[in-house]
Structure 1
Amino acid sequence: MSAPIKSLEQVLTNAASGLSAQSIRMNTIASNLANAGSVGSTEESTYHTKYPVFSEVKQGLAGMGQDDQPVGGVRVSSVKDSQKPLEKRYEPSHPLADKDGYVYMTDVNPISEMTNMISASKEYQANVEIMNTTKNLIMQTLSVINTK
């Protein structure tokens, strides 16, 4: 395979890793939104907002990693729980209230999550555009090679 096509394949690999990472981010946001407004009887048992942690992949290999994320580009290295203290509300009649009558409210902020979803969606779309442009460049390169 020619050098330009191999180089463009790496662009596709990097864009695919971005798609994978943004997909995980969107799933995390969906989980956060699904749990917005939830309560618990203890701070530990109450849902905490989750955040994906992105890291650069420094390997030069193309292909899939051991956890089905592309190698090269970016990846989600972990999903962390928020460490923010939860709001405690006095609701002694609530079925989940602790012995003192308190329930713990989740720290999910739906407005912040919707903003994050818009950002993740735009970044996903950008990676799709990178892949489409790269595909067109590969097709043009192959056309030039075939006409020689």
Structure 2
Amino acid sequence: MSLPTFGAIGIAGTGLTVYRKWLDAVSDNLSNMNNASPTSGSAFQARYVIAQAQADSTTGQGAGVAVGGTVLSGNAEGRLVYEPEHPLADANGYVRYPDIDLGSQMAQMMMAQRGYQANLSVVDRAKTAYEAALQLGKNS
């Protein structure tokens, strides 16, 4: 498979974008995991990023990845917590919190961070290789 000039940087760049969006979704989930809602409303729903492979339209070969969309967790009911002093509590003293697991979100954050770092490393190494190739032409 031959890649066009700077293909490695372009493909790794698409990975950087997807992993950044994943990190954004995880940070949004974490920042909203303690948001209370009245029991008459719905709880915050965790957001998950869907990655989709991209193909080059002319060659049909892989051209990276893109965000194919986002989905919300299926649980808008969240979890009910007894907090009668809370200003949003219902007549029975309950408020609704999102059903987001901190451990799961932290694991996703670590995976997304490592994926982002790996793609950044590819960009850096490809840049170094391209610079070295340009230096070969200068010394001739």
TM-score, structure 1 as length reference: 0.77
Structure 2 stretches lacking a partner, 5+ long = none
Residue number in structure 1 paired with 2:25: 28
Measured against aligned partners, the alpha-carbon deviations of 1:41-89 in whole angstroms (never above 9, x if no partner) come to: 147532111111111122348xxxxxxxxxx411112121100352123
Structure 1 stretches lacking a partner, 5+ long = 62-71
Aligned: 1:59 with 2:56: yes
Distance 1:95 1:33 in 2: 22
Match of 2:42 among 13, 23, 45: 45
TM-score, structure 2 as length reference: 0.81
Distance 2:101 2:57 in 1: 38
Aligned: 1:9 with 2:1: no
Residue number in structure 1 paired with 2:108: 116
**Could you tell me the percent identity over the aligned residues?**
26
**Preserved CA contact (<8 Å) 1:8 1:134:** no
Aligned residues: 134
RMSD, aligned α-carbons: 2.3
What are the equivalent positions in structure 2 for 1:105-144 lying under 5 Å apart? 105-144=97-136
Q: Deviation of residue 29 (structure 1)?
A: 0.9
Measured against aligned partners, the alpha-carbon deviations of 1:103-133 in whole angstroms (never above 9, x if no partner) come to: 2121121121111111111101100110111
Q: More displaced, 129-138 or 33-42?
A: 33-42
